[in-house]
Amino acid sequence: MAKSNGWKEAIFITTQHVSLVQLAQHGDEQAFYQLIEQEQHKLYRMAYVYVQNENDAVEVFQQTIIRAYEGLPQLKEPHYFSTWLTRIIINVCKTYIAKKNTVQLVEPHTLEDFTSTTPTYIEEELDLWHSLCKLEEKYKTVLLLRFYQDYSVKDIAAILQYPEGTVKTNIRRGLQALRQHLKGAYIDEWVQSVERGH
């Protein structure tokens, strides 16, 4: 598609998305699964960052989908489907971790599991992964939303129901914490460039 048609495509995608949400809200399961299919890999990976192993991430993913399906009729603005879904998965992750912690302390990170399934992983990325896992949950959440899901500060504030100022502060502190874990080197260039943007 030619570049000048990009905006038309964008509008088409948006309206298509909204009508899918509306269909799903009226009980069209096919539409619901089409919506989920578009988001499922991102949702699963978000969950994985929180729980850090496959079985728990699958569980969180499935709980999220079920909760979304049950709660869909209550969603007032179809435009907000994606942000609404993101809010659900964050809440499910938090509850899931809290419940798990009441029985057993989760090991900080099952690094072996991760490396064994991804042999191509390079060392520096592993460092970044490790640091990301160790971040405090509030920093982890904003960094995921800002730099993985590409939400704006305004959207993140709406999802988490925090003031925008708090979101900005947490993003900044999250990035600082990442840099500290990584002791400068590798992602410095990236962090500096995104810090300048904030």
Partner 1 sequence: MNGFNPLKEVIDAIPIPKGRLTEVLRVEGMSKVFQQKHHTVQALKNIHCTIYQGEMVAIMGTSGSGKSTLLNMISAIDEPTEGALFLFGEEAHDIYQEPNASKFRKENIGFIFQSFHLLKDLSVEDNIALPLILNDLPSKDIKVRVQHMMEKLNIAAWAKHRPSELSGGQKQRVAIARAVIANPPILLADEPTGALDVNTTDEILELLVDLQKNMNQTILLVTHDPYVATYANRVLFFHDGAIVDSYQNQQTAEDLDCILAKFKLITRGDL
Cβ pair 170, 139 in contact under 8 A: yes
Q: Give the integer Cα–Cα distance in Å for 19 and 16.
A: 5
Q: DSSP label at 145?
A: I
Of 12 and 70, CB closest to partner 1 = 70
Give CA separation, 198 vs 70, 108, 136, 152, in Å: 37, 30, 20, 11
Residue 115, helix vs strand vs coil: helix
Among 17, 23, 25, 63, binds partner 1 (CB under 8 A): 63
31 binds partner 1 (CB under 8 A): no
At closest approach, how far in Å is the CB of 29 from partner 1? 6
Q: What are phi and psi of 34, to 5 degrees?
A: -65, -40
197 binds partner 1 (CB under 8 A): yes
29 binds partner 1 (CB under 8 A): yes
- Binding region for partner 1 (CB under 8 A): 29, 33, 40-41, 44-46, 48-49, 54-55, 57-59, 61-63, 65-66, 69, 96, 99, 102-103, 114, 117-118, 120-121, 125, 128-129, 132, 143-144, 147-148, 150, 186-187, 189-190, 193-194, 197
